[in-house]
Structure 1
């Protein structure tokens, strides 16, 4: 049982996420769904299975032009990539996703995104502009 709870951790969430979760709870209350301790669950309060989540993610993926196979893990990968693209510190990312070894985070997740390329190009342009002005 300890392995099940080994990956549970607290994290900060944005006010937008808090508002969306409140809306979800209100939607459930309006439909008289059973309350449970789970953020996501069916009308009986039972959390979804991994198989059910993967089916949902695949259906959502089919609505996009992205050619990758969609599984729930793509959400984690995208989350980490967006944190890196936003310039979030590697140690913070590691803590947030439960990595103890930076190699896991850097080798698997922190590939260079197009947003990171643009940001690096802009930083270099600014740096060279300042150097040339001196």
Structure 2
């Protein structure tokens, strides 16, 4: 893999992760980052950032209580 290919690869992951974290729909993210379906975006291109689990946990706590 060349450095240019690696940079493109990293940029796709970063873009997908940040857009998903910002609440963008997986379909819109898939359309933006390239020829991928939504399951591929969610399974491969998005990553858990620090604090995301805590935010999700707090949301669930509010729903339950």
**Fold-level match, TM-score > 0.5?**
yes
User: Which has the bigger relative contact order, CA under 8 A and spacing at least 6?
Assistant: 2
- Which residue in the other structure is 2:21 paired with? 85
Q: 1:125 to 1:107 in 2, by over 3 A?
A: same
Q: Which runs of 5+ in 1 are unaligned?
A: 1-50, 56-70, 130-134
Aligned match of 1:104 in 40, 43, 50?
40
- Structure (1/2) with the larger helix percentage: 2
Partner of 2:60: 124
Within 2, Cα distance between the matches of 1:115 and 1:87? Answer: 15
Q: Structure 1: how far apart are the matches of 2:51 and 2:18?
A: 9
The 2-side partners of 1:114 and 1:87 are apart by 16
4+ aligned runs moved over 4 Å, structure 1? none
Unaligned stretches of 5+ in structure 2?
Answer: none
SS of the residue corresponding to residue 47 of structure 2 reads coil
Indicate how the Cα distance of structure 1 residues 112 and 80 shifts in structure 2: closer, same or farther if over 3 A, else same. Answer: same
Structure 1 residues 43-54: aligned runs within 5 Å: 54=3
Aligned length in residues: 62
- Deviation, structure 1 residue 100: 4.2
Deviation at 1:86, TM superposition (A): 1.4
